[in-house]
Amino acid sequence: MEEHIACSSEFAGVNIISSWCFLIGLLVTLKHLISLSKWIFATFLRSQIDLIRTYGSWAMVTGATDGIGKAMAHRLAHRGLNIILVSRSSKRLQTVATELQAHHPHILVKAIQMDFSGDIAEGLRQIAAATRELDLGILINNVGITYPGAMFFDQVEEKVWRKILKVNVEGTTRVTRAVVAGMMERRRGAIVNIGSGASVVIPSHPLYSIYAASKAYVDQLSRSLHVEYKQYGIHVQCQVPLYVATKMVSKVACIEKDSFFIPTPEAYAKAAVRKIGHGPRCTPYWAHSIQWFFAGLAPDPLLDAWRFSIAMRRWKGIQ
């Protein structure tokens, strides 16, 4: 009899544990299903914000004559916004301006020549003037540079790392500061800073350390400004792309064409413009989001070792 009671008690205990395990598993599964549903809605189903009505009729894009910047300018023009192009080469600015007006004859286009690695004072004056005179609603801080190739920290020449900091950190900061006052007066605006997966998605980016650190600055600046200025109707967002098939990526990562996980600038820009106004940080392209999810499952030491092995292959290739 006592043995029967003991067995019954043990069986009841096993049932309770099994029930709790089932409940916990159900809750975890439900949580992931809800997250997946939210991701599908945000990525594919959510309606786009009316950018002109919400923020203003003009958009400014830095680094606008190639890659993501050029594609963003075209996509914003497609949405009906007038465009201010900011870049170093006056010839390429004129070429892109002509292309924009040919494809989107209903919009206005202005160009500001500005070398972010040199004296930017005159360019900033023109940007500030445009902010006062025009209904500038959107700023895309896209301009950015990286190393000419994989390098250990002590191998990077001072002129190289100073140039990276001047363009990626000082340039982004000064242009943002030049436009935010006008947005404050109008009580609306959107500032989109293009970050990098090198500073957010993976725990380290060896042999490109200064570039990764500069993009970490952009990420933290964006988050803090989002908190500071959302009360004034200004939405600040850091967009975090992984590899996009641009000239810079081709040079650094030896990627020659787009693929499933590496979109064209045009495909990326289409997704990026849809994300404006939604959250302080995002990875606009859907396949990049999948990569970020799986990177988050891997332990940091494993990701560090993987990135270091890739960087070392590139480093050896240029020695």
Using only the alpha carbons of the chain, give its radius of gyration: 24
Distance CA 145, CA 67 (A): 12
Q: SS3 helix, strand, coil % of the chain, rounded to 5?
A: 60, 10, 30
Active site residue 211: yes
Secondary structure string (H, E, C) spanning 97-151: HHHHHHHCCCCCEEEEECCCCCCCHHHHHHHHHHHHHCCEEEEEECCCCCCCCCC
CB 230 within 8 A of CB 184: no
Active-site option among 55, 147, 211, 243 = 211
Q: What is the DSSP secondary-structure string of 205-274?
A: -TT-HHHHHHHHHHHHHHHHHHHHHGGGTEEEEEE-----S-HHHHHHH---S--SSS--HHHHHHHHHH
Active centre residues (catalytic): 211
